[in-house]
Structure 1
């Protein structure tokens, strides 16, 4: 039997850790098991031709919020082209209410809900005639009587799952995903981890051994999928120290951490790390106490902001911070206060995200009490609630675009902070005014080269009477960011945006 494991990643540089785990779990019970990865940006015809021409007996799709629509369309077409091919879906986007999903998608023959390693290995054996589908934990499938559900699935013993990269090359142009723990000690109501509270970690010595594999391979970046890497401060500090000691000068390690769990010993250790060795992502989400309580976040905003600032001030670690718009009790003005508090930290990257009401999460189940209105298809993004209206969330989306263009992409390190100080109304009001200017003049209708972003900012500064100093700082930013020939060409064309 020929079986394909596949998925559509969101970008080319991304890779699927799930497919590697599944392959390692089932490779000994399936003679012809293949892995192929695509992206949502590949043409539909290219992917379809690859699936049909493979003459597979079964195609198994890993499904996520970013790929479910295209995956479903491909699977439907594949079933029409190859009716005898069996189609299996799995992954977080189909794990909740699996029976209803199968009823709505008749071309899907099987669905595995929850973690897949144990279930997929047993499914492969049953598919090859060695076992019964009815005994596969977490499996939903069709039989003559309708849709049948296998026994409930228990959380796998994580330490028993083999290292997923022993059979796969670490490609230099791909981000390498890795997890040293599954689950999360917290229960944020908007997160899928709040559904499964089991927290399982690998032994520290095994983690060190596996990290040494990546270091020897000199991969560009290893991104940990641990929901809260530093949930055990002693454990995380030991692993940070190991990576610092064995630093190859090339590999970067990305972690999602909880800032208020950083202790003095960890900060003291991290100050000696090579610049570029570590990258930390900190989900602040809001500084509104009532909002944090409503979504079951127990963090102390004051401590989170203080520790995040201390980390940023070390100057050797790339720090990424997040806010989420659309949370309960966070109206437009409250979000502005959260924005200002986080912006003033001076993080390397500031992501303004929008709440997704993921199926099965507590906030999804409690949506009516907050009068949530949301998109009826992935990514299930919030449209409004009783605290913030649709128009206000659209205004925040405009602010998010300007924040990304001018803060996150860089190149305005002198002019941007100076303009915010001169306007003297705070970062949020500044970005609000700039985004209104940008949209009122229709700049959102086309993409812009970097030099034109300088021209747009200059025109905004002229309207706001920011003066000659602003222009000089903007020119300094331009000269530092762009090459000599591009600067000469810019000066010939001038500041006017066409």
Structure 2
């Protein structure tokens, strides 16, 4: 049975036709999130809904229904419009971001044609800072919720219910009176004050997950709002006020996620580790209550980690937490221009101290002020010098309302006028150079960040002198190796392994040196799963007796289990990682079919 697209939260009445009541204007509200990927969920609409359920006055709450609806940008616009139309809403409020703005505008335009009386509102960072421009771009929208939306949503629905003027509701920008066909004059209402107590917002997942399965979707969660830093490119730098949910509330919510066995919870706090006593209490709670399933993702500032933090990290169960760390650049002048006063030596020292059991992802941004192609090479190699699991190469986006927008307008930048407003050239980087970086970014994602050839890439980067030199060479080689010359076309893993095996043969290395990367390539190949066939480049060092002995020695031949079954879930080979030492025997044990665990267990014999 196909899952419904919209989920009604408990405690609110199901949809029914309008009644001829003197003060009723509407009975159904849809809060709409359009995600970048299926696996993602929209936190904003859930926070709004949770707050509405709690704080909307009972007379209003008893007369209407509010639903959270989610789609993603990979679905057709017609499917989304049909889903909204079928729900017969009176009010729709869209959560608008850089990745879905054009979809939201198109959907709103088509909805206006088929539902002329529909009240259409936008909210979110993509519209809050440029309301006049949004009204110019979208003739369909009636109102925009500016900034923090919880209190505004409650007062907006109350005003609509009572037929009170929307111009009295703080935190809005409205066309006319905010209702369809009510005029063209754009009016900003009174500025909305920030919520004093974030604990007033209930856990948005406490009353159920709706139509999503928390075992195969990413849940987003906030334990604070705001950021004390002033990064020129970031919208969070506009307001330096940082507010926190109470520690007790956060620990209670974490306990809920653990009890529900949620797969991945991503904290959206801009910098999670601002207060050591607070974030260490959270990590210790996760450690002491870990369920062996749930991973918590944190965006942290590595250079301010304390010695006590590293002590706690060493005690964290593998898979319980993971980090995202913004390096952005290693160029001191660039960091100064964007107001990131990071001590690079402390950052490097702390990155090396993070235990390998904690999945770590570092970010770079291409196109920042003062960073040319040569400088970016150094930043890239700096990021790759750490034994991290992912190196994410992003490209500068010129966001309205940020200091970077002013720098770009006055400093010779060119960027796209459409989302995601990505830089096309800077005073320091040409478009030709950005194309090269785009190709390198794609290969890093394909070969390294995906986990496909991590060990091979690290070995080759060392032998080529730098990671950037390796990927710059591979971008040309891979394009030439495939007959279609399309670097960005999705490829089968087996074809990528064959391509890199050929690339190794062309690299300028002596014979002994070239053997090591081939050994790591064979190792990475077997990590991916039990091979059906071995490709021509793969030279086996197989020993059936040694394979059998390894299975017995590690109790992998269980009572009543056939040898055929044990062999089908394992592989054995020997690897000459270093020419001066004898080959290393390795047993790979693969997870059962359908298991959530995807990685092979590796046993060095």
Measured against the shorter chain, the TM-score band is over 0.9
How many Å apart are 1:178 and its aligned residue?
A: 0.7
1:131 to 147, 164, 188: 164
Higher gyration radius (CA)? 2
Deviation at 1:225, TM superposition (A): 0.6
Residue deviations 1:438-477, cap 9 Å, x none? 2345142532000111111122222225555143432332
Question: Is the alpha carbon distance of 1:145 and 1:50 closer, same or farther for their aligned partners in structure 2, counting shifts above 3 Å?
Answer: closer
Count of aligned positions: 489
Give the aligned partner of residue 14 of structure 1: 40
The match for 2:214 is 171
Secondary structure of the structure 2 residue equivalent to 1:167: coil
TM-aligned CA deviation for residue 493 of structure 1:
11
Q: Please name the residue that 2:186 is paired with.
A: 147
Contact 2:90 2:118 in 1 (8 A): yes
SS at match of 2:284: helix
Task: Tell me, in whole angstroms, the C-alpha distance in 2 between the residues paired with 1:354 and 1:292.
Answer: 16
Which residues in structure 2 correspond to 1:379-458 (within 5 Å)? Answer: 379-423=420-464, 425-441=465-481, 442-444=485-487, 446-458=489-501
Q: Does the C-alpha gap of structure 1 residues 205 and 473 become closer, same or farther in structure 2, counting only changes over 3 Å?
A: closer
- Alpha-carbon distance change, 20 to 451 in structure 1, aligned in 2, over 3 angstroms: same
Q: 8 Å contact 2:442–2:488 — kept in the other structure?
A: no
Distance in structure 1 (CA, Å) of the matches to 2:488 and 2:439: 12
2:284 matched residue in structure 1: 241
1:296 aligns with 2:339: yes
RMSD, aligned CA: 1.8
Check conservation: 2:146, 2:172, Cα contact below 8 A: yes
1:86-485 mapped onto 2 (5 Å cutoff): 86-129=119-162, 131-143=164-176, 144=183, 146-157=185-196, 158-169=198-209, 171-311=214-354, 314-423=355-464, 425-441=465-481, 442-444=485-487, 446-466=489-509, 467=511, 469=515, 470-485=517-532
Checking the alignment, whether the CA contact within 8 Å between 1:305 and 1:342 is kept in structure 2 is no
**TM-fit CA distance, 1:72:** 0.6
8 Å contact 1:2–1:56 — kept in the other structure?
Answer: yes
Deviation at 1:421? 2.8
Q: CA deviation at 1:492?
A: 9.7
Question: What residue ranges of structure 1 are gaps of 5+ in the alignment?
Answer: none
Q: Counterpart of 2:544?
A: none
2:85 equivalent to 1:44 = no
Q: Work out the CA distance in 2 between the residues paired with 1:163 and 1:473.
A: 46
Kept after mapping to 2: 8 A contact 1:9/1:15: yes
Change (3 A) 1:465 1:337: closer
Q: Distance in 2 between matches of 1:99 and 1:445?
A: 38
* Higher relative contact order (Cα pairs below 8 Å, separated by 6+ residues): 1
Give distance in 1, aligned partners of 2:29 and 2:123.
15
**SS in structure 2 at match of 1:398:** helix
- C-alpha distance after superposition, 1:95-149 (max 9, x if no partner): 0121231133111011111110011111111111253201211111122461121
TM-score by length of 1: 0.95
Other structure's SS at 1:484 match = coil
Report which stretch shifted further, 179-188 or 149-158: 149-158
Q: Which residue of 1 aligns with 2:578?
A: none
> Matched residues in 2 for 1:203 and 1:403: separation?
40
After TM superposition, give the deviation of residue 182 of structure 1 in Å: 0.1
Distance in structure 2 (CA, Å) of the matches to 1:316 and 1:473: 21
Give, in angstroms, the shift of residue 420 of structure 1.
2.4
Contact 2:96–2:124, Cα closer than 8 Å, also in 1? yes
Query: Partners in 2 of 1:217 and 1:409 — Cα distance?
Result: 28
CA distance in 1, matches of 2:494, 2:396: 33
Contact residue 155 and residue 198 of structure 1 kept, 8 A: no
Q: Secondary structure at the match of 1:322?
A: strand
Q: TM-score, normalised by structure 2?
A: 0.78
Name structure 2 gaps, 5 residues minimum: 1-26, 177-182, 540-605
Q: Report the Cα distance in structure 2 between the residues aligned to 1:191 and 1:6, rounded to whole angstroms.
A: 25
The alpha carbon displacement at 1:402 in A equals: 1.1
Q: Which moved more, 1:162-171 or 1:113-122?
A: 162-171
The answer for the alignment partner of 1:76 in structure 2 is 109
Partner of 2:561: none
How far apart in 2 are the matches of 1:379 and 1:25?
Answer: 30
Distance in 1, matches of 2:112 and 2:348, equals 52
For residues 100 and 339 of structure 1, what CA distance do their matches in structure 2 show?
Answer: 37
